[in-house]
Amino acid sequence: MKVAVIGASGRMGQAVLQELIAQGHECAAAVVSEQSSQLGQALDDPRLAGRHYSSGRELEPGSVDVMIDFSLPQALSHNLALAQHLGAPIVVCTTGLADADQDTLAQASQSLPVLYAANTSVGIALMEQLVTLASAGFADADIEILEAHHAAKRDAPSGTALVLGEAAATGRGTTLAQSTAGIRGEGPRQAGSIGFAVLRAADIVGEHSVYLAQTGERIELTHRIRDRQVFARGAVQAAQWLAGQPAGRYKMRDMLDTKALLQRLLHEI
């Protein structure tokens, strides 16, 4: 599989390059912005000898099977335009997207396979489904989402926390916008709301906990990541799957087909 990695000089871009090498895939391009100090520089890994960071302008349609984007929100439109020029499916892993960015993704998905994942961990994709199920079954519970990340993370709550919040709202037959209480501050809790708490410290890679509490009992669903390579593996897995899909907008749970899995398990029960 020929993969173009966007945001290749960043922490996650480097992790994806390592994963591609480990799995025997080809790095078709290591893309950085035209303002990057890395542009034109050779890649550090000796296994990618002869490869240089590029703007992606040299790529031609058919030269890339799929793209993986770990860049910044402000580059989204440019990256999607490049994917459309190449006719290449794209896995977008950028967090902190605004509503307008989501609209841009929706427009691009009309002509391309587009998978958006604020978190490419397979475990988080499974947890999302568990949260929806628990929220529906524990219908009167208070729901609070706690997330912890490294001190330099820019957005809060994290994109993953918001995805889990939306999953909880779906279980209640509503939307996060209608039920969110925002980041928990002072004052009493509003009944029926979904609250968030945020921790930023040191080098925490990513931890998310969803608490569903009723008087006398509670359910806690927790996912922790200690190695960023988990995200890279998930992104490459998503890219492999997306390369064979028709135009449309996808999520990690589509790749896992958790709906079919739940139906099978319920039938067996």
Q: What residues act catalytically?
A: 149, 153
Closest CA to 251 of 149, 170, 156, 142: 170
Helix (H, G, I), strand (E, B) or coil at 16: helix
CA distance 226 to 216: 32
CA distances from 213 to 23, 110, 144 (A): 42, 41, 8
Asked if 132 contacts 164 with a C-beta cutoff of 8 angstroms, the reply is no
Tokens of 228: 């960023």
How crowded is residue 130: how many other Cβ atoms within 10 Å of its Cβ?
18
